[in-house]
Amino acid sequence: MECVVQGIIETQHVEALEILLQGLCGVHKQSLRIHELCLKSVPNLGLVASEIRLLCDLEQPEPTWTVRHVGGPMRGAGAEQISVLVRPMLESKVNKNALRLFNGLGYKLDHEQLRVGFAFHFQRGAQITVTVSSINKMLKLHATDEAVPVTPGIQLVEVTAPASSENYTEVVASVSSFCEYLAPLLHLSKPGVSTGVVPTAAAAAASLMSDGGGTK
C-alpha cells in the first residue's frame, strides 16, 4: 500500500519549492517525463470495472514500462481522522508490449497524459518521494511531442511513501510531519480534496529565492 497527499502550486513558484526541497532532502532532483496511459476493463471482465495505468519513463535512454494498479482508499473512523490517504497499490515492471497485452485481455485506453517535471527521493522517517510536474494532454493519440498543459501556470505536487498494514500509522506521521515544512508554499491534502493555491506562497517564494540566491 501507499500513503499519498497532493497539492498545486503556481509555476512561477516552482523554483522556490525546488530550493526548499533541496535543502530539506539533501539529495539531487531527478528529471521526470512520464507518459501515462489509463486503461479500463470492459464489462465482460467482471462485475466491477477495473482500472490500471501503464507508465512509460521517457527519461531513460531506452524507455522503460511499469504497470500500476491503485485500489480504493482505506475507510473507517481512523481513516477519516488522518490527513493522508492510505490505499492499496501494486506496481510491476513490464516490457514495451504491455499495451498490446492488456488490449488483448479486454482493457481499452480511457485517456493518456504526459507528466513533465522533477522528483526527489529520500529517507525521512519513511521512504518519501516528492514529485512536481505539469500535467499535459495529447492532441493526437500517443503524440507526446505535441502535448499541451491541461492547466497552464499550475503544477501538481505529490508526496508518496510505501507502507504496509503493520507500519502505515508511522508512515502517515512521517508524511504529515514533512508536509508541514512545505506549508508556506502549498497545502497538501488527500487526492480529490481541492484546497487551491496558498495565499502566502508569493511571500514565501520571494523569501526562499532571496535566501537561496535564485540558484538551483
Instruction: Answer yes or no: is 109 within a domain.
Output: yes
Average pLDDT over residues 62-84: 88
Strand intervals (E) in 25-153: 30-41, 51-57, 64-70, 85-87, 89-94, 107-123, 127-137, 148-149
Residue 79: pLDDT band (50, 70, 90) is confident
Segment 174-201 shows an average pLDDT of: 89
Residue 146's domain spans which residues?
Answer: 2-210
Q: Rounded to an integer, what distance in angstroms lies between the CA atom of residue 114 and that of residue 95?
A: 19
- pLDDT attached to residue 214: 45
Domain presence at residue 82: yes
Residue 215 clears pLDDT 50, i.e. is over it: no
Answer whether residue 186 is part of any domain.
Answer: yes
Mean pLDDT across the chain:
91
Instruction: Please state the domain count of the chain.
Output: 1
Across 103-123, average pLDDT = 94
Residue 81 has pLDDT above 60, yes or no: yes
Mean pLDDT, residues 190-195 = 82
How far apart are the C-alpha atoms of 72 and 87, rounded to whole Å?
6
Asked if residue 216 belongs to a domain, the reply is no
CATH number at 124 reads: 2.40.320.10
The model's confidence at residue 46, banded by pLDDT at 50, 70 and 90, is low
pLDDT for res 196: 79
Model confidence pLDDT, tens digit, residues 152-170 = 999 999 999 999 989 999 9
* Residue with the larger pLDDT of the pair 79 and 209: 209
Q: What percent of the chain has pLDDT over 70?
A: 94
In a domain, 215, yes or no: no
Question: Is the residue at 91 inside a domain?
Answer: yes
- CA–CA gap between residue 48 and residue 39 (Å, rounded): 14
In terms of C-beta density within 10 A (0-12 exposed, 13-18 middle, 19 or more buried), how is residue 164 classed? exposed
Task: Give the 3-state secondary structure of residue 26.
Answer: coil
Residue at 115 is within a domain:
yes
Is residue 119 included in any domain, yes or no? yes
